[in-house]
Structure 1
Amino acid sequence: MKKIQILVAAHKEFPMPKAKGYMPILVGAQKNYKPGISYQRDDEGKNISEKNPNYNELTAIYWAWKNLKDVDAVGLVHYRRLFFDKKPYNLDNVIDIKRVDQLLEEYNVLLPKKRNYYIETNYSHYIHAHHKKPLDKTREIIEKSYPIYLNAFDNVMKSRKAHMFNMFIMKIEPFNSYCNFMFGVLGKLENEIDISDYSVQEARVFGYISELLMDVWLETNEYKYTEVAWGQLGGKNNIIKAVALVKRKIGINTKTHF
């Protein structure tokens, strides 16, 4: 069996999967650590933990990229959003490492089912909910520094579906490829935009942008992937999200991530 490590990102102590192969990781650990939390911290080894307010769970991905050794596959889920083998969606039914190992015999990447925005493209959905400049600047960076990704970027922006949430399980080679591209783009974006006057929510911009980079990377590299059932513990706030969608369509900016 492959050595598979699935990180479970959390900003404080929560109930966690007990299954083999799952590693709770405390994101933004410099600020969020409290005595008694036994999770792996994202501020150990080479890290960008201090960027957690702007990078969200990407600080866990970066920690894994730079510090996990001798693993065959790496994954990231969240304390509330996880991959599941079966219903009901609870911590006892998270996807089993043996099942992950079987899937990775055939596929390079496992992702959540795509989110469908139906009446909005990925681009319009983003700019109705967030500042427009960072996404437009991302395209400029890709055009200049990563031109082989430009067609895929434009295709993803026009699409009404996307693999969201920064959830995945990947073999180590595609994982390294993904991190090189994603952190490369975001590092350049940091130098191109000023977020000093952004709200706390909007300051998470690099985490938001990264969600759209997943399919850009995937389409360009053509890694073989499959989608895995996922669920959100505690519900998905579908009514709130529907109201927010209507507000955005009539020009009222509103929270889009829940």
Structure 2
Amino acid sequence: MITHKMVSFIPKGRVPIFVGNGNNNKKFLGDNTGDNISNKNKNYSELTAMYWIWKNDRTSEYVSVEHYRRFFMDPSHFIPKIISNKKISRLIKNYKIIVPQKQKWAVTIGYHYKNNHSTKDYNNVFNIIKDLYPDYINDFEKIMKGNSLYAFNMVVMSKKMFDNYCNWLFTILFKLEQITDLSKRNAYQQRAYGFMSERLFNVWILHNIDHKDIIELPVYYLTNNKLKTILKSLKARINKKPYFPKKSTEGLDQ
């Protein structure tokens, strides 16, 4: 359970990991120990925790990534409820990967990225993949020309598969970082590698995972109000209308 702030609510079976060098609670794991990129958190967001898990967890058979505000929901309950660790464990025995319910967007993934984040980053990633992983380039184009994706970097999969994914992902992102200047972007747009990773996650899945081996779970949105939590989670589960991502171009270095 990735968090950048101290939280009091930790669902049973979840292990909190604090990101960004600010962990003063010894009960939480910290992404600033061992082999880490914690100091890059403002640019990589939750990926600094994923990097830490990749490099430092040598005992887990499976890895589950959620957030302090977003959890996988139990689809068997009408009233939204966070899925139990036991149910997650049973599901992952029958599927290769668990992902959040796919979002349908009103625009293509590529169009949105180029108009709301950075066309330069988009083109650079295309060229990096073409150079380093040419067999993925058709998958990249297919995802970017489509209008749906698995968001939030939430996932459950085997540690071996997680390691393979992280090796592929960070190879691309570290290469992108070498040729990218974020200094002129605002704080939101400086989270560039985190934003790009959400798209790349879908590229990796398309290339490596058969559709029958994927199970989607709705997302439980935790708020500071119980009724609001229930309503927001219900809406997300049953809403089939196209999602219109908010446009944010401030601070872009196109």
**TM-score, normalised relative to structure 2:** 0.85
Are 2:169 and 1:182 equivalent residues in the alignment?
A: yes
Match of 2:97 in 1: 109
Q: Does 1:12 align with 2:1?
A: no
Count of matched residue pairs: 233
Partner of 1:59: 48
Q: Amino acid of the residue matched to residue 23 of structure 2?
A: Y
How is 1:220-235 mapped onto 2 (pairs within 5 angstroms)?
Answer: 220-223=207-210, 224-234=213-223
Q: Which residue of 1 aligns with 2:182?
A: 195
Q: What is the letter of the counterpart of residue 103 of structure 1?
A: L
SS at match of 2:16: strand
The 2-side partners of 1:246 and 1:215 are apart by 17
What is the TM-score when the length of structure 1 is the normalising length? 0.83
Deviation at 1:212, TM superposition (A): 0.2
CA distance in 1 between partners of 2:245 and 2:167 (Å): 37
Helix, strand or coil for the counterpart of 1:74? strand
- Looking at both structures, which has the greater relative contact order when contacts are Cα pairs under 8 Å and sequence separation is at least 6? 2
Which blocks of at least 5 consecutive residues in structure 2 are unaligned? 224-228, 236-242
Aligned residue among 7, 29, 33 for 1:44: 33
1:26 is matched with 18
Q: Deviations over 1:3-42 (max 9, x none)?
A: xxxxx1111111333312x1111110x2x234x4631111
Is the Cα–Cα contact under 8 Å of residues 247 and 254 in structure 1 kept in the other structure? no
Query: What secondary structure, in the 3-state scheme, does the structure 2 residue paired with 1:231 have?
Result: strand
Q: Which residue of 1 aligns with 2:249?
A: 253
Aligned residues: CA RMSD: 2.4
Identical positions, percent: 34
For the 8 Å contact 2:186–2:250, the answer to whether it is kept is: no
One-letter code aligned to 2:105: Y
Partner residue of 1:3?
Answer: none
Change (3 A) 1:247 1:58: closer
Alignment check: 8 A CA contact 1:76 1:168 kept: yes
Unaligned runs of at least 5 residues, structure 1: 1-7, 239-243
Question: 2 CA distance for matches of 1:247 and 1:39?
Answer: 33
SS at match of 1:105: helix
Partners of 2:105 and 2:244 within 8 A in 1: no
Instruction: Name the counterpart of 1:99.
Output: 87
With over 3 angstroms needed to count, the CA separation of the structure-2 counterparts of 1:233 and 1:87, relative to structure 1, is farther
Could you tell me which amino acid in structure 2 is paired with residue 180 of structure 1?
Answer: N
Q: CA deviation at 1:254?
A: 6.2
- 37 and 228 in structure 1: CA distance in 2 versus 1, 3 angstrom threshold: same
Q: Which runs of structure 1 show a deviation greater than 2 angstroms over 4 or more consecutive aligned residues?
A: 15-18, 86-89, 234-238, 244-248, 252-255
Change (3 A) 1:97 1:134: same
- Contact kept, 8 Å, 1:186 with 1:206, in 2: the verdict is yes
Structure 1 residues 154-213: Cα deviation after superposition (integer angstroms, max 9, x where no partner): 000001000010000111221111111111110110112111211111110000000001
